[in-house]
Structure 1
C-alpha cells in the first residue's frame, strides 16, 4: 500500500475525557497493493503526559488492502484494419505489427504471452 493511501489524522481528547478510540483509515482506491505496516506516533505535548514517559510513543498498525488482485486488462490494436502475415516459399518473410497496451497503470511488471501453438484468427 502506498503511503499516500493513508489519510493524515489528528486525535483530540476533549476536557474530562481520558480515552478516545482512533481509527486508521486507508483510501479505498480499487488498486490491488501489498499489505503494509504503518506507524502511528504520539508526541509529548502541553497539558498531558505520555505513559510510558518520554518524548514520543510509536504504535504499529497493520494495514490490509481490500482490493482483489485481478489480471491487467490488455488491449491489442492491429495495424491498419487487420494483422496479416503471409508465408512465402521463396524465402521472403513479411511482417506486420500490433500494439499491446494495458488498460490501467500496473502496480508491478506484467507479462503478456501469446502461445505459439494457437491458431490466431
Structure 2
C-alpha cells in the first residue's frame, strides 16, 4: 500500500469523525436516543483511530488487524446512521445523514480494498 493512500484514508476518516461530532453537537438529542448517538460517535471515531494505530503496527498481522477493526467500525457506523435516518430523531438534518452514509460507505470500500491488497502480498 502506498504512503499516499494511507495518508488519504487517515485524513478522510478524521474529517468524517469531525463531521459526525459536528452533526451531533448541533442537535438537541432526546434522552431516548442517547445510547444510539453515543454508539454512533464511538464507532465513527474508531475508524480513524484504528487506521492511525495500523500505521504504528508492529507487524503485517498487526497492521491488517487494525484495518479490519476499522472496517468493522465503519460498518457499525453505517448501522447507527441508518437507524438515525429511519427514526424520528428530532433536529437531525436527514440530508447530512445521507451524505455521511455515502462518505462512510466510500471509506469502508477503501479500507476493504486495503485489506484485500494486504492479504494478496
Normalized per residue, which structure has more helix? 2
TM range (shorter): under 0.3
Bigger relative contact order, structure 1 or 2 (CA pairs below 8 A, ≥6 apart): 2
**With structure 2 as the length reference, what TM-score do the two structures score?**
0.22
Q: Tell me which structure has the larger Cα radius of gyration.
A: 1
